[in-house]
Structure formats: C-alpha cells, structure tokens
Amino acid sequence: MDSQHHAMTHLFAQLGLPATPADIQAFFAARRVPPGVALADAPFWTPAQAAFLREQVEEDADWAGLIDRLDSGLRGRD
C-alpha cells in the first residue's frame, strides 16, 4: 500500500477526469450527490470510477480520506 498523501488533483487524475483546480471546482459546481445515495452510486460515475471509489473506501486505502472529502464536497458540506 502506498503511504503517500494524495491531493484532490491526483484523485481526479486517478479517476480519469480533468484535474486542474479550475476543472475540479467546475466538477463540484455542476454535480451533487443526493441524500441517501452512496458516493459510488451517483449517476455521473462510470462503472470503473464507481468501483474504484467503492473499493478504496471499503479497504480504507490511502485514497479513502480524500474520497471522503470528495463525498463531502459533492453534498455541499465543504
């Protein structure tokens, strides 16, 4: 397991998404995860992206903390 700390830009790149700070800000502005829907179940992820998010959280991997921040931001709490 990689013990380095990741940045949100790295997570977006890992997900295959545009990863500049402006791209990330636009992503957050354009999408919301509804209450009661798990982050990985949001309709805007590809199956591969959803699987990555789900696996990383389930394994409490290095990405998990950053994925929690992603989840929070997509719910309007960040």
Distance in angstroms (rounded) separating the CA atoms of residues 73 and 78: 5
**Confidence band of 5 (pLDDT split at 50, 70, 90):** low
| Domain range enclosing 54 | 40-78
Residue 31 in any domain: the answer is no
Other CB atoms within 10 A of residue 46 CB:
11
The amino acid present at 42, given as its one-letter code, is: A
Write out pLDDT tens, residues 22-39: 999 999 999 999 999 999
Domain count, the chain: 1
Residue 74 in any domain: the answer is yes
Residue 4 clears pLDDT 70, i.e. is over it: no
Residue 22 in any domain: the answer is no
Residue 64 in any domain: the answer is yes
Distance in angstroms (rounded) separating the CA atoms of residues 39 and 53: 8
Residue 71 in any domain: the answer is yes
Distance in angstroms (rounded) separating the CA atoms of residues 27 and 43: 14
Residue 75 in any domain: the answer is yes
- Tokens of residue 71, six digits: 């989840």
